[in-house]
Amino acid sequence: MKSAIVLGAGMVGVSSALALQDRGWSVTLIDRKQPGLETSYGNAGIIQSEVVEPYAMPRSIRELADIVLGRTNDVHYSFRELPAHLGSLARYWWHSQSRRHQAISLTWAGLIAHAASGHEDLIKRANAGNLIRRSGYRVLYRSKPALEEAITHAEQLASAHALDFRTLTPDEVAAAEPALILGGVGAIHWLGPWSSSDPGKLASSYADLFVGAGGTFVHGKAETLKRNASGRGWVVQTESGPIEAENVVVALGPWSPTLLRLFGHRFSMVRKRGYHAHYSSPEPLRVPMMDVANGYVMAPMALGTRVTTGAHLARPDTSADPVQLARAEISARQLMALGERVEEQPWMGTRPCMPDMLPVIGQSQRQAGLWMNFGHGHQGLTLGPVTGELLASVMSGQSTVVDSGPFRPGRY
């Protein structure tokens, strides 16, 4: 029986472990925390079947000036931390050029097309349907020009990718969401996306499915990874002692490049820190909603209304600076009776974005038996199951649902 260690028990790691297990592998899943408690917990909880284009970096002078001058809540940074990001941001900007972004989007859309079906299977097997809403996702606009531009783009995407959406007037927004005080100038309601009332619990339910089917989960430290005594496998130190396997999968999200430096790899990554807080809204939203003009998403969660922020370009070792969350809270209170904060301190985590906007999936070109599945940007929750299947198929020598070539680690 083939064996593997999977490092990282977020949505991507758990999905990878399950996909290997389904193919007859002996798999040990290792994390320092319980499954689903890092980035997989902190997102907006949306399985975004409509995001057929990855988020490109703004290239217009106006948009870049807004970021530099702090006139947008989408991005926050400090000049003293910016030098650490310049190399990755420069590559991201280069790949965001229109022609390059279109080519990247064709590859990306191939993964997105299988995202919901990948979750569907795991949701049924894990009996996690109570965590899922299938009522879509709304994007609210506060200016008519922005809404008109968004509708034109939505029509293009819908035609090219068979997506469903509705355009809502302010009155229709108010009727669809009684919790709202204001309906902006209208909204786009994407009908295909699903959402979870507890994305961390969704990931942990998939982990329970893995363990229930005979898989092993154990706490351990990824940084102890090294070759075993024979030199033909891998070993990791855990609370249960050393764990060995022929193969290892690095699915550590934003921590992956740091570990992989120990084995000769240099991965550039744009680390986008995000924050969220929950609020005890007297009347919750019915579906998640993005307030485009103010750069945040509100989502109904088990703990209350979750407000999530855009990107803070921060080094991993810097302290929290939730200025975007404070601005988002002010804007959200204009739209609805938000209520009081549930937690004393906001949550923060990091989205692992590759400069070419595509995840890294495949085997190391330097180390036999070292495999990777990370760099999903804003869509780790959405893409975990399909990229887990893709990796497991490659590791098992099977045909894949999409071409694995564009995701190979060797492109870096």
Q: What is the pLDDT of residues 210-226, one digit of tens each?
A: 999 999 999 999 999 99
Residue 81 has pLDDT above 90, yes or no: no
Which pLDDT does position 305 carry in this prediction? Answer: 98
**Residue 344 falls inside a structural domain:** no
235 within a domain of the structure (yes/no): yes
Share of the chain above pLDDT 70, in %: 100
Q: What is the CATH number of the domain that holds 218?
A: 3.50.50.60
Please indicate, yes or no, if residue 158 is contained in any of the structural domains. Answer: no
Asked if pLDDT for residue 242 goes beyond 90, the answer is yes
Q: Model confidence over 131-158: pLDDT tens digits?
A: 999 999 999 999 999 999 999 999 999 9
Contact (CB, 8 A) for 339 and 280 = yes
pLDDT given at position 216: 98
Q: What is the pLDDT of residue 16?
A: 98
- State the residue range of the domain holding 245: 1-51+98-134+195-268+354-412
For the residues 166-183, what does the mean pLDDT come to?
A: 96
Does residue 252 sit within a domain? yes
Residue 200 lies in a domain: yes
pLDDT of residue 131: 98
Contact of 243 with 218, CB cutoff 8 Å: yes
> Is 165 among the domain residues?
no
The answer to whether position 305 is within a domain reads no
**How many domains would you assign to the chain?**
1
pLDDT value, residue 399 = 97
Residue with tokens 């870096």: 412
306 has a pLDDT exceeding 90: yes
Q: Residue 114 falls within a domain, yes or no?
A: yes
Instruction: State the burial class of residue 287 (Cβ atoms within 10 Å of its Cβ: 0-12, 13-18, 19+).
Output: buried
Average pLDDT value over all residues in the chain: 96
pLDDT tens digits, one per residue of 12-52: 999 999 999 999 999 999 999 999 988 889 999 999 999 99
Closest CA to 187 of 134, 146, 135: 146
Please give the average per-residue pLDDT across 362-366, as a whole number: 97
**Spatial distance between the Cα atoms of 362 and 237, rounded to a whole number of angstroms:** 24
